Amino acid sequence: MNELKTEAIKLIEKRTKNFLKASSELEDVFMAVQKIQSVVRPDDGSWTYLMNNVTTSVIGRSSGQAEWNQDQAHSHGQKAKSHTKKSGGGNFNAEMFQKFDINRLTYELVNSLVTEFAKENEYFVTWDDLPKDSDVSEVTEEATQEYYRSLGLL
């Protein structure tokens, strides 16, 4: 098994944090533009659709890729051992083992960084975190008309 060098860890952490910061800023632009445009009901900070998609997608994808790379590393590691015993050389499979194992470690670190970020900022880690809507009330015609009047549409 391999370990990531300190330089690699720092690079992964820096770029992952930069990605998350840029994603947050992109989400914030919608709220800022709505305020500039004097939208009657601008979104507040609880509208985290973009970041919930980002965090759940990155966490889900990195988990799946970590598992896949682990399987590939294991397979190539076994082949390298087998070929080395039979013919004295298993370089290709040894190289593939190293590559897939490093990829696995990278995905696992990205996954842990994004998971930590999501939990600290109350974003979803999985879509199972989505709150269940218990309000099943219907909007009345009267409430709709009042809302349209408040917007100046009636």
* Average pLDDT per consecutive 10 residues, the chain (154 residues; last block may be shorter): 90 96 86 84 66 92 96 92 76 91 96 96 88 68 83 80
Q: What is the pLDDT of residue 48?
A: 58
pLDDT of residue 22: 92
Distance in angstroms (rounded) separating the CA atoms of residues 117 and 124 = 10
Neighbour tally for 146: CB within 10 Å: 11
How high is the pLDDT of residue 110?
97
- Helix crossing, 49-87 with 6-36: angle to 10°? 160
* Other CB atoms within 10 A of residue 110 CB: 22
What pLDDT was estimated at residue 134?
61
pLDDT at res. 45 = 57
Q: Is residue 152 part of a domain?
A: no
In a domain, residue 12? The reply is yes
Domain with 66, as residue range(s), is 6-130
Whether 47 is covered by a domain: the verdict is yes
The reply to whether 13 falls in a domain is yes
**pLDDT on residue 47:** 55
Determine, yes or no, domain membership for 117: yes
Give the 3-state secondary structure of the chain. CCCCCHHHHHHHHHHHHHHHHHHHHHHHHHHHHHHHCCCCCCCCCCCCHHHHHHHHHHHHHHHHHHHHHHHHHHHHHHHHHHHHHHHCCCHHHHHHHHHHHHHHHHHHHHHHHHHHHHHHCCCCCCHHHCCCCCCCCCCCHHHHHHHHHHCCCC
* Residue 60 confidence (pLDDT): 95
Q: Which residue in the block uniquely carries the two structure tokens 């990278």?
A: 106
The CA distance from 41 to 31, in Å, is 10
Asked whether residue 149 is assigned to any structural domain, the reply reads no
Q: Is residue 138 part of a domain?
A: no
83 within domain boundaries: yes
pLDDT of residue 34: 84
Question: Considering its fold, how many domains does the chain have in total?
Answer: 1
